[in-house]
Structure 1
């Protein structure tokens, strides 16, 4: 399969905030080889809830996943890193690979690093990220840092603003990762929040550590099929 033939399907939350190049919800992130479908029911507040997603919200995700598969998508993903709890249910209803979140990288990174303290997670809201969002994966020792409080991305996403200061978002993302390095000695970081992805190159350059995100995970699968 040629790379140009690989189509990514994205299940996007019901949001309207900007999605710059590099964001999983921007079709150009994968060179126009993606189909983005916005959910009607699921908002950011629903996705990051401390409650488990089920009922109509989960049903709609499955329905959209089936639509994307019917449209010829070779892989399906989502626009929110809090959606690991829906992984098994959605995957059971489609035949193509389903990657719910970058948090699926955590077991791999814990295996290849000598200590879980080497791993940091930069999340949209550390207060809302609970054990059930990891679906039984051991997160002991992993350091979690959030964007909550006064960051540009947190404000724009939580209030669904139509304007985004990208320079500020990049700077604040870099500051959060630098804090993980300086205070906890992490050697790699997972971006739980998909909206951080447009700034990962800047964060990598500024900090010198490995930064993983959902776009990388999708590309890993896509590149494995490159003929």
Structure 2
């Protein structure tokens, strides 16, 4: 049996994951293997910053590593908080978050980086420090007050409506750009946001980076 190239540590969630989401195998042009980290809920990872989850993530990552995967990532950008702790226990490349691209994107574009996150109120300097991005000029916009996105993906209390989320994503990016016209690029923190890239293209032609652009870059390094 062919060994998957990319191992993905999944949060313990139940919402629908369309193509383009990191949790859908059809998203990738290469083989992947998913591993759910039990009890790693959005509540514990995003809202509580629960460091007790580091060891379960390490153990799950080691299981993927032992199966022969060449690279490991996660399904939540907020795990940047634990990038260094998890990576230090593995011997294959590990990238926790699309936020790792911030310093590179800043150098590529020569200007301020706009970050669109699932929950601005939870994204702190500590998350940027975890991936050495805290010295880079960034501005952050969140989906905190976008009901379709928040209820389906953050709170898991409603069914995902992609049309409504597309509208909300466009609104958030438009607000980000209007409030910060010096932004030269956009990074999508949330691994559930890539399915809406085409919607974002309706309101901006800025370079957009996400967990999939990072995945193609890292996986490409071992092919």
TM-score with structure 2 setting the length: 0.90
Unaligned regions of 5+ residues in structure 2, if any?
none
Which segment is superposed worse, 58-67 or 89-98? 89-98
| CA shift for structure 1 position 161 | 4.0
| CA shift for structure 1 position 215 | 1.0
Aligned to 2:56: 60
> Is 1:89–2:85 an aligned residue pair?
yes
Structure 2: how far apart are the matches of 1:175 and 1:207?
11
> Is 1:213–2:210 an aligned residue pair?
yes
Structure 1 residues 97-137: Cα deviation after superposition (integer angstroms, max 9, x where no partner): 10100000011122233333xx1000011111111111253
Structure 1: how far apart are the matches of 2:34 and 2:158?
18
Asked if structure 2 preserves the Cα contact closer than 8 Å seen for 1:6 and 1:222, the reply is no
| CA shift for structure 1 position 141 | 3.8
| CA shift for structure 1 position 202 | 2.6
RMSD, aligned CA? 2.0
Asked if structure 2 preserves the Cα contact closer than 8 Å seen for 1:50 and 1:129, the reply is no
Structure 2: how far apart are the matches of 1:150 and 1:214?
21
**Shift in alpha-carbon separation, 1:5–1:223, aligned structure 2, 3 A:** farther
Structure 1 residues 41-83: Cα deviation after superposition (integer angstroms, max 9, x where no partner): 21101111354x423x111000100011112211100010111
TM-score with structure 1 setting the length: 0.89
2:22 to 18, 21, 24: 24
Structure 1: how far apart are the matches of 2:56 and 2:68?
19
Which segment is superposed worse, 122-131 or 86-95? 86-95
Structure 1 residues 148-204: Cα deviation after superposition (integer angstroms, max 9, x where no partner): 123311111222246211111122112211221122112211000111111113313
Structure 2 counterpart SS, 1:106: helix
Structure 2 counterpart SS, 1:82: helix
Asked if structure 1 preserves the Cα contact closer than 8 Å seen for 2:3 and 2:68, the reply is no
Asked if structure 1 preserves the Cα contact closer than 8 Å seen for 2:8 and 2:34, the reply is yes
| CA shift for structure 1 position 40 | 0.9
**Shift in alpha-carbon separation, 1:173–1:17, aligned structure 2, 3 A:** same
State the aligned residue count. 219
Structure 1: how far apart are the matches of 2:81 and 2:179?
30
Aligned to 2:115: 121
